[in-house]
Amino acid sequence: MLTDAHVHFFPELLTHTPPFPGWDPRQIHLNATQEADREAVAQVTRRAPNVPGFPEVVPYFGIHPWYVADLSDGWEDRLSAALDQFPAAGVGEIGLDALRPDLELQKKVFLAQLELAVALKRPVSIHCVRAWEWVEPLIQRTVGPAGLPILLHGFNGSADQALHFIEGLGWNVSFSLTSIRTRLNSPKTRGLLERLPPDRVLLETDAETLDQTQGFREFCQAVETLRRNGTANTANH
């Protein structure tokens, strides 16, 4: 099944009926990034089953590292309440971004959300920019050993790093490649496609506008071709 493993709210999700040009996943993982877009994600999730041909929506609620400075008292209770309303929802988008301010606050907020995911047994969708030295131990303290599904979205690490998380640490982790940013012929991308179990590499748009979803179907087809060739090469050796 074709899935967009990480996408954001854009207004057409509440007004348009499929087909969307170039974007026809059967399932989408729709991430909130702050309290302000939580209701929109909830509305799309409620709307989806009533619109013929609309993808199945898995909602995620969380505080993205870019928005930690906006938090006000009681945010954890409000997040927990949103997750209670949607038993299939994950915790996302959460994580750390070392290129953005408030890294110490980011760590506190990230850890609190990982602990909430463990308490409620929810999957997590994680953003990490130049922050593996903190993200890895925080996952290892919480959702990693708990066996909860972890998506490392927009992953641009190496196959060695990915295999360390899968085999070395035993995490239930997947890695998603972003259609608008991934260079398919880079050695890193090829390494991930060739060396990881196929079900561990997912595809995403990370779109925040309808425009950014375009080209996703082509991207998925290109990855499929690359995977087939990779398999063919292996079989020849």
Q: Point out which residues bind Zn ion (CB under 5 A).
A: 93, 206
Amino acid at 227: R
Q: Minimum distance from CB of 204 to Zn ion (Å)? A: 8
Q: Minimum distance from CB of 125 to Zn ion (Å)? A: 8
Long-range CB contacts (within 8 A, 24+) of 226-233: 226/184, 226/190, 226/193, 227/193, 227/198, 230/190, 230/193, 230/194
Number of residues that make up the chain: 237
Considering the complex, state which of residue 34 and residue 164 has its C-beta at the smaller distance from Zn ion: 34
Considering the complex, state which of residue 103 and residue 129 has its C-beta at the smaller distance from Zn ion: 129
CB 141 within 8 A of CB 108: no
Considering the complex, state which of residue 33 and residue 142 has its C-beta at the smaller distance from Zn ion: 33
Nearest to 56 by CA among 25, 22, 97, 19: 25
Q: Minimum distance from CB of 6 to Zn ion (Å)? A: 6
Q: Minimum distance from CB of 175 to Zn ion (Å)? A: 14
Q: Minimum distance from CB of 55 to Zn ion (Å)? A: 17
Considering the complex, state which of residue 100 and residue 227 has its C-beta at the smaller distance from Zn ion: 100
Report the chain's C-alpha Rg in angstroms: 18
Considering the complex, state which of residue 74 and residue 174 has its C-beta at the smaller distance from Zn ion: 174
Number of DSSP helices (H) and strands (E) in the chain, helices first: 9, 8
